[in-house]
Amino acid sequence: MPQTEQSPAAPKTLAQWQSMLPNTWINIDKLIFSPWQEWQGKLSLALTSDIQQLRYQGEKVKFQGQLKGQQLTVSELDVVRV
């Protein structure tokens, strides 16, 4: 049977996925988690192949974190008790 050119496999590791990320900045002013509207807020993402940053700001939760390689740093996490 003749060898055929193999199609590229999907990335299998976090590092492979990260290396494929284009420089991207995404801002969503009002993100609603249906049916949990009380958790709605603003989402900001800054993505590069080296560092991925996430910020989320809502009335009941505030989060800021950064992923560099496999190291996740959470610099802020506030949750309002109900």
Work out the pLDDT band at 81, boundaries 50, 70, 90. confident
Residue 3 has pLDDT above 80, yes or no: no
Cα dihedral 73→26→81→72 (10° resolution):
-10
pLDDT at residue number 9:
80
Structure tokens at 38: 């009380």
pLDDT at residue number 56:
98
- Classify residue 6 by its DSSP letter: P
Q: What value does the CA radius of gyration of the chain take, rounded to a whole number of Å? A: 18
Dist. CA 28–CA 30, nearest whole Å: 6
